[in-house]
């Protein structure tokens, strides 16, 4: 499994280092909330507290959301419960803002049970791991760090937020673009989807750790991942009518679920 040194030694693999990736994600998330008029939601207030904990200034949060400064201060003081999602915990760990269960409880106000559940999920997905006590041993010491897979997830979610700034209730599907077909494919995609920002090209330089070429990002509303794949495959078939060189099926390389 890849570890922290993978992106320490090869920073060019990722667009952002861990702390900056966490901050960029929260900035993108709260802007999406503001664009979607979800400023009264518990999830938005939760993200304000996490963003502040990550070192994002109150004035920057106010600028991006347009909410009164007192609203932000109130959110910062509000303990988090079930509103604390696994991705926020990953961002806090990656940024070094809180890397133990006790510190995560302290900065979020969430219960130890909620924190343990989030870490368990991240560990299962190999996105976070516990540091060993000494070199050469495997005994954990209760300090958690982000893995290369975890940083890749943060980067993927940043890409998704950028593409779907006004489509937060939709899935984002990332499709590998065949060699030499970027311009033709985006024209065909816009012919099917329109030019409302629901499709876009992600350059491979954004996240070369997981991307071996440019990708077409498509947003689509669906009840689950199976339905969204069916929708995208149908849209792909429509694009093939004007671009016969496309392969029969899209090569879907990543899915980002909606923020419900």
Domain ranges of the chain: 4-149, 166-256
Angle at which helix 69-77 crosses helix 58-65, to 10 degrees, equals 120
Measured in degrees and rounded to the nearest 5, phi and psi for residue 101 equal -60, -45
Distance CA 125, CA 218 (A): 24
- The helices-and-strands tally (H runs, E runs) of the chain is 11, 6
**Structure confidence at residue 11 (pLDDT):** 43
Overall average pLDDT of the 210-227 stretch: 82
Tell me if the pTM is above 0.75: no
pLDDT value for 34: 79
Tokens of 151: 């940083």
Higher-confidence residue: 157 or 192? 157
- The CATH classification number of 166-256 equals 3.30.70
75 versus 168: the higher-pLDDT residue is 75
User: Given this model, what pLDDT does residue 48 score?
Assistant: 94
């Amino acid at each position: 499994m890849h570890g922290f040194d993978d992106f320490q030694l090869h920073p060019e693999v990722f667009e952002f280092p861990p702390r900056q990736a966490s901050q960029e994600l929260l900035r993108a998330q709260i802007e999406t909330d503001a664009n979607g008029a979800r400023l009264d939601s518990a999830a938005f207030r939760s993200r304000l507290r996490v963003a502040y904990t990550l070192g994002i200034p109150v004035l920057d949060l106010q600028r991006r959301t347009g909410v009164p400064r007192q609203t932000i201060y109130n959110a910062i003081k509000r303990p988090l419960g079930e509103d604390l999602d696994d991705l926020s915990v990953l961002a806090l760990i990656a940024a070094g803002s809180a890397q133990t269960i006790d510190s995560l409880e302290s900065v979020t106000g969430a219960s130890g049970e909620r924190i343990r559940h989030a870490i368990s999920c991240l560990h299962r997905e190999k996105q976070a791991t516990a540091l060993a006590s000494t070199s050469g041993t495997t005994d954990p010491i209760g300090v958690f760090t982000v893995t290369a897979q975890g940083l890749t997830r943060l980067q993927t979610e940043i890409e998704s937020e950028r593409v779907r700034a006004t489509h937060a209730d939709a899935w984002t599907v990332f499709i590998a673009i065949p060699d030499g077909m970027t311009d033709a494919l985006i024209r065909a995609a816009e012919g099917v989807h329109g030019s409302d920002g629901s499709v876009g090209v992600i350059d491979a330089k954004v996240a070369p750790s997981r991307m071996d070429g440019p990708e077409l990002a498509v947003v689509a509303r669906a009840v689950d991942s199976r339905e969204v794949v069916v929708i995208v495959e149908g849209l792909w078939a429509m694009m093939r009518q004007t671009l016969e060189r496309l392969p029969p099926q899209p090569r879907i390389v990543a899915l980002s679920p909606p923020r419900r």
